Amino acid sequence: MRGIYYSGDQYHCPVCHHSFRTFLPGGFDLPVIGEKQIIGAGYRENNVCPLCQSTDRDRLVYLFLKYKTDLLTEPNTLLHVAPEPALYRKLRKHKNLHYFPVTKYQEGLYYNVQIPSADLLDLPFEGETYDWVICNHVLEHIDDDKKAMTEIYRVLKPGGTALLQVPISFDLDKTYENPEVISAEDREKHFGQFDHVRIYGNDYIKRLESVGFQVSVLSQERDLSDIENLEKYAVNPKEKLFLCTRPDYKNHLL
């Protein structure tokens, strides 16, 4: 079984720097995901790195950070909400970073270390603390996502940036929510995962802007095209990046 994935170099994981014949399959195969064309959800054949267990969306985030930002090279403060294990292991080694991972629950078995828990609706940090916040596929789990967005905005420094990824359907003009959908089984049917509480639509950007963010939506075709052989990293080519900046009004006034 090991040789099936490890022999060959068709795919490469930028997180653990190993090449493979193929990646492992992963994700949920539920009807609503196909019906609503939810990007960032669903079952994919080449999804999970056999070695570090990074997923396609983890690799996309890391490639963006590495090639399009100074986060990994310059002194930065980073709040990482519900850190993905592969990215957590990678980012904590960067000595330029003041790295603060937090998770909603104490998930020692998941991370194999103890990471502080924090309520995304009431973050235990002073305002204007962080240069960066990474919150990757978390907001779709939060009932009051506007409050969570407001808290992320609050703890960002002016001019700071949050990468706020969510599963999204561009077939929906408006985000789909239904407070009557409570059970895990019904949430799978309606939202595409047992612990999701909505499907974001095209109004996601307006929801982010409503708390003060300036939002840039980056596509791989347009904004990551200079990353050589992007397809070898087995990222989902349809997934966009939602880059949210807290305006630096002082610089603006100058």
What's the CA gap between 220 and 234, in Å, rounded?
12
Residue 108, pLDDT above cutoff 70: no
Contacts of 190 (CB under 8 A, 6+ apart): 32, 176, 178, 181, 199
- Percent of the chain at pLDDT exceeding 90: 86
pLDDT in tens, 178-195: 999 999 999 999 999 999
List the single range of 41-45, 76-80, 110-114, 134-138 with lowest mean pLDDT. 110-114
Q: Hey, how many other C-beta atoms are within 10 angstroms of the C-beta on 222?
A: 9
Pairing of strands 130-136, 156-165: parallel
- Which domains are delineated in the chain? 57-253 (3.40.50.150)
User: Per-residue pLDDT averaged across 91-97, rounded?
Assistant: 96
pLDDT in tens, 118-161: 999 999 999 999 999 999 999 999 999 999 999 999 999 999 99
Q: CA nearest 167: which of 63, 23, 32?
A: 32
User: Per-residue pLDDT averaged across 64-70, rounded?
Assistant: 96
pLDDT in tens, 131-140: 999 999 999 9
User: Per-residue pLDDT averaged across 61-90, rounded?
Assistant: 96
Residue 244, pLDDT above cutoff 70: yes
Q: Which residues of 146-170 are buried (b: 16+ CB within 10 A; e: fewer)?
A: eebbebbbbbbeeebbbbbbbbbbe
User: What does 150-204 look like in DSSP terms, one character per residue?
Assistant: HHHHHHEEEEEEEEEE--EETT-SS-EE-TT--SHHHHHHHHSSTT--EEB-TTH
Judge if pTM exceeds 0.75: yes
pLDDT in tens, 18-59: 999 999 999 989 999 999 999 999 999 999 999 999 999 999
pLDDT in tens, 219-233: 999 999 999 999 999
